[in-house]
Amino acid sequence: MIRVAPILLAIAYALIAYRFSVWRTNRELDARSTELADPELRAVTDRLARALGVRRIPVHIYEIDPVNGLAAPDGRIFITRGFYRKFRAGEVTAEEMASVIAHELGHVALGHARRRMIDFSGQNAVRTALMMVLGRFIPFVGAWIASLVASLLAAGLSRSDEYEADEYAAALLAKAGIGVGPQKTLLAKLEALTESRAGVAPAWLMSHPRTADRIAALEKLEARWDRRG
Ligand SMILES: [Zn+2]
């Protein structure tokens, strides 16, 4: 019992941290968001809705400046106020906004939004549990290895999530008749757009895209579709 107690404590801590994160995130999003009512964007989200066979896709504005799209654990899709401003200023087209919404829909459909929250709150617990186990067998470096394993695990998960959500978005955009083009042009713009004031929103909400790699992956996907004819 003495041996498993720390591990049980770590698991209990992770569960409580997860519950708290969900509660805090929902409260933050409820307090600082409104449903988007933009006829031009509504036209493109309606095309996505038709392709998905649903009545409509509600999109919310999250009142923060950093340019990003988010998928909440409860499945709601958010565009930040900063991103919407770029659209209103003509720096981003409606079709490019659709590609962001399609990408976030991918995170929801593939279950990432919920899992990512677990990653974030669970990462500390994994680290703690690993430290307790490894620290017992490998003194000194055990803690360091545990930390490394926990962060590699989380980084690997979030990176593969991005590629999967991109693939989902590409398929949806193709089906909606919008095509993969706007998705690629947006990715090319993304680096410049997100440069300013990063890190204001909670870290787990933000993706860390390597845009050149993501564009290359989309081109590979398109080549695969072409071969199948
Ligand atoms: Zn993403």
* Residue 198 in domain: yes
Number of domains making up the chain: 1
Question: Across residues 29-38, what is the average pLDDT?
Answer: 88
Rounded distance from Cα 76 to ligand 1 centre (Å): 14
Express each pLDDT in 91-144 by its tens digit: 999 999 999 999 999 999 998 877 766 555 566 666 777 777 777 777 777 777
How far is residue 16's CA from residue 46's CA, in Å, rounded to a whole number?
38
With cut-offs at 50, 70 and 90, classify the pLDDT of residue 85.
Answer: very high
* Residue 24 in domain: no
Percentage of the chain beyond pLDDT 70 is: 83
Angle at 90 between CA 89 and CA 93, to 5 degrees: 135
* Residue 196 in domain: yes
Neighbours of ion ligand 1 (CB under 5 A): 162, 165, 207
* Residue 222 in domain: yes
Rounded distance from Cα 49 to ligand 1 centre (Å): 19
Express each pLDDT in 142-161 by its tens digit: 777 777 777 776 666 677 88
With cut-offs at 50, 70 and 90, classify the pLDDT of residue 229.
Answer: low
* Residue 27 in domain: no
Q: Which residue has the higher pLDDT, 131 or 74?
A: 74
pLDDT at 154: 67
* Residue 11 in domain: no
Sign of CA dihedral 193, 31, 76, 60: negative
How far is residue 223's CA from residue 229's CA, in Å, rounded to a whole number?
10
Q: Which residue has the higher pLDDT, 88 or 4?
A: 88
Rounded distance from Cα 50 to ligand 1 centre (Å): 22
* Residue 58 in domain: yes
Rounded distance from Cα 86 to ligand 1 centre (Å): 19
Express each pLDDT in 166-176 by its tens digit: 999 999 999 99
CATH number of the domain encompassing residue 185 = 3.30.2010.10
pLDDT at 75: 86
* Residue 175 in domain: yes
Express each pLDDT in 185-216 by its tens digit: 998 888 777 654 444 444 444 445 577 888 99
Helical spans, DSSP H, in 110-210? 112-137, 141-175, 181-194
Segments forming the whole domain that contains residue 53: 33-116+139-228
Rounded distance from Cα 114 to ligand 1 centre (Å): 13
Rounded distance from Cα 6 to ligand 1 centre (Å): 34
